[in-house]
């Protein structure tokens, strides 16, 4: 069965500190992996995606993620967090033409 696990429900980091949000997936075929961000009361914005090729992908707003097939992980990272990064982050997995399966989300709080 397809599933996505985001083990951290909440994460709090200081502004300027580095960030890593964890994502583990289970998928029977070659996965397409996504990270989306949602601000309160808003839709989801695509941060980055991985289909194939280089396992380190760069996204918008200074985010990057690394695909590790052996660990079934696709963790999101940012070297220096800004207060405007406070939001909820969703990891999702899908395949060609297939629907997405979302993780439960991780709420990021940034303290000044």
Q: Which residues bind other proteins (CB under 8 A)?
A: 32, 34, 36, 41-46, 49, 51, 90, 94, 96-97, 99-100, 102-105
* For other proteins, the closer CB: 15 or 95: 95
What dihedral angle (degrees, nearest 10) is formed by the CA atoms of 38, 42, 44, 46? -80
Dist CA 80 CA 77 (whole Å): 9
Least distance in angstroms from the C-beta of 80 to other proteins: 27
* For other proteins, the closer CB: 28 or 99: 99
* For other proteins, the closer CB: 52 or 70: 52
Residue with tokens 């405007």: 84
Which residue, among 82, 79, 73, 80, has the nearest Cα to 103 in the 3D structure? 73
Least distance in angstroms from the C-beta of 44 to other proteins: 4
Dist CA 31 CA 47 (whole Å): 17
Least distance in angstroms from the C-beta of 41 to other proteins: 7
């Amino acid at each position: 069965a397809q599933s996505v696990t985001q083990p951290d429900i909440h994460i709090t980091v200081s502004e300027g500190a580095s960030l890593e949000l964890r994502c583990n997936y289970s998928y029977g075929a070659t996965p397409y992996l996504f990270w989306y961000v949602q601000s309160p009361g808003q839709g989801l914005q695509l941060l980055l995606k991985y289909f194939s090729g280089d396992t380190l992908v760069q996204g918008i707003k200074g985010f990057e993620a690394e695909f590790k097939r052996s660990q079934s992980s696709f963790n999101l990272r940012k070297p220096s967090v800004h207060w405007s990064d406070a939001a909820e982050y969703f990891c999702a997995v899908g395949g060609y033409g297939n629907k997405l399966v979302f993780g439960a989300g991780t709420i990021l709080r940034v303290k000044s």
